[in-house]
Structure 1
């Protein structure tokens, strides 16, 4: 009898040991931007590993590098979940590199802004953060009420604009076209306007750090930028204001998607759901890492000021549809190069 009990106990131990090993062997590989990874580890990766009994492997790089890797490994994917801008994600979806998300398995979708629930269509991605883009200006020297105010005579030789090749370039043209009052996805009128005033532009900047330096050195009094530069601009100790143009502001969104052929789609959806949770979104917002899409996140005024936060801010953003970006970006670039960059 004792021998039978010992044998049964040994068999049970083997089963439990195998199950434990199986849980520890569960791995989720994610592809993300390289910024703020220590903050993500503390707020997201480590807590999820503890929750799921799994291991998260992080791969990072630029969007173009990571998209190229997806294409190369399409037949045998090495990544389960990928974070992209909405346009990059739609490009990946169009190349049949992504799989639809089962929304029934992502209950926290019910807590996020409507615009973030299905920004690509067909459930191919979900927004996890967004940001506003507007005009920053020296409030002691100028007043900005419209996107067209950038080209007022008194601002000639004192403005900077984002280059067409950066993320802020096309959305600036989007808002200029809207301000002109002509619907045209090619942004022909907006590009003509910039071309007409190109000699009044100090520089077409390529990075936010360039803009900060230009304002600090008082070479420009107004420019277009994303909200993510606002904390650095506030540290300049200068009277800099964030414009609320009558046409609204624009901005961008980053999304999470499941890679087609992911080894564990169930775990991937659990991870996406956790990222969208009020708990994680609150931590990332408190750390000034991401502007939250979860509507249950609450922030004090000093932190809200640093991010794109709240229903009013969200509703004021005119998002450039990712499909329009993909369909027209070559034409934008060609027109820009021939009229502005020549």
Structure 2
């Protein structure tokens, strides 16, 4: 499901991704000693790719793999500075960064040159190659709820007054919360002032949360009872720290967020980059992501084991994820951030 400027209707795939039939020109075959540079998040994601992807590529080609780790801010800035002459070959970005990077000529639109492209859900064929769905939704302390949260509108129920930790700014959680407010109350994406006014009705907030760690501490310390956060990380928190934490499945749907593997424009290791991503889309890696951090698979032909299948999004559930008009959002990001700071964070 995709929200556009006024009607929140679907975005055409063709506008954002090249058809699977379009294959890039032939590139030289990888040779021993070639070095693939991968920019990715550290922690569990680094561990998984080093265990399941790197050894296979190294064994097949005798190549080297090096990593640039950390958050996307520095990585993205470096990729833009190197546009057309990249030091990165594969760059992992979030959903809105990946689509903007293709439009800006920093990364390539996805194509069928990656063998498992056709196995991807259509939603994961935009802006690059989606490798993990990580939906955003309402999360809350079940002991503080008079009734279960079944709609994004439930945040406006009086029981949550003064107990909400609103997500900061226009990051993944923040934009999800704002755009799902728009969808739930029937506002167009170009009616941002109305969205902010509606969210302002929830004030005073218990706080503005800027990370999962901060939110979970706020819940543990009884500072806040409800927020908008990634379902995957919250499932981990629920199982390891707080079994009372609930992850809502609102009737309007969860907001889609996604990790995307992108190939840089101008890479000298095109085939290695395509094979790296193809391995990332394998069932083995999808299952490892699900088990380690409850990331949901982006490919249609993966079978999730019993121990995780009820904790991730699969099959028809993917169709219920709500996508947004990222072109419009990205074009108004600076303006919206200033308004957010003035109306909600101030």
- Give the unaligned 5+ runs of structure 2: 1-29
Q: What is the alpha-carbon distance in structure 1 between the residues aligned to residue 85 and residue 249 of structure 2?
A: 47
Q: Does 1:31 align with 2:39?
A: yes
Residue of structure 2 in register with 1:140 after alignment: 143
Q: 1:244 to 1:282 in 2, by over 3 A?
A: closer
Q: Which runs of 4+ in 1 moved over 4 A?
A: none
After superposition, give the CA deviation of every residue in 1:247-280 in whole Å (9 maximum; x if it has no partner): 1111301211111111121222122122112233
Give 1 or 2: higher helix fraction: 1
Residue of structure 1 in register with 2:79 after alignment: 70
Q: What is the alpha-carbon distance in structure 2 between the residues aligned to residue 261 and residue 216 of structure 1?
A: 48
What root-mean-square deviation, in Å, do the aligned CA atoms of Structure 1 and Structure 2 show? 2.1
Residue of structure 1 in register with 2:120 after alignment: 112
Q: What is the alpha-carbon distance in structure 2 between the residues aligned to residue 140 and residue 89 of structure 1?
A: 38
Preserved CA contact (<8 Å) 2:207 2:224: no
Give 1:221's match in structure 2, choosing from 221, 225, 237.
225
Q: What is the alpha-carbon distance in structure 2 between the residues aligned to residue 174 and residue 341 of structure 1?
A: 17
Q: Does 1:263 align with 2:271?
A: no
Q: What is the alpha-carbon distance in structure 2 between the residues aligned to residue 158 and residue 100 of structure 1?
A: 43
> Could you tell me the TM-score, scaled by structure 2's length?
0.83
Q: What is the alpha-carbon distance in structure 2 between the residues aligned to residue 286 and residue 297 of structure 1?
A: 13
Q: Does 1:315 align with 2:319?
A: yes
Q: What is the alpha-carbon distance in structure 1 between the residues aligned to residue 309 and residue 224 of structure 2?
A: 27
After superposition, give the CA deviation of every residue in 1:228-261 in whole Å (9 maximum; x if it has no partner): 2221133234422211212111130121111111
Q: What is the alpha-carbon distance in structure 2 between the residues aligned to residue 235 and residue 99 of structure 1?
A: 39
Give 1:180's match in structure 2, choosing from 176, 179, 185.
185
> Could you tell me the TM-score, scaled by structure 1's length?
0.84
Q: What is the alpha-carbon distance in structure 1 between the residues aligned to residue 65 and residue 314 of structure 2?
A: 31
Give 1 or 2: higher strand fraction: 1
Preserved CA contact (<8 Å) 2:152 2:184: yes
Give 2:104's match in structure 1, choosing from 81, 95, 108.
95
Q: What is the alpha-carbon distance in structure 2 between the residues aligned to residue 288 and residue 238 of structure 1?
A: 17
**Any residues of structure 2 matched to 1:118-157 within 5 Å, and which?**
119-120=126-127, 125-142=128-145, 143=147, 144-157=149-162
Deviation for aligned residue 1:61 = 2.9
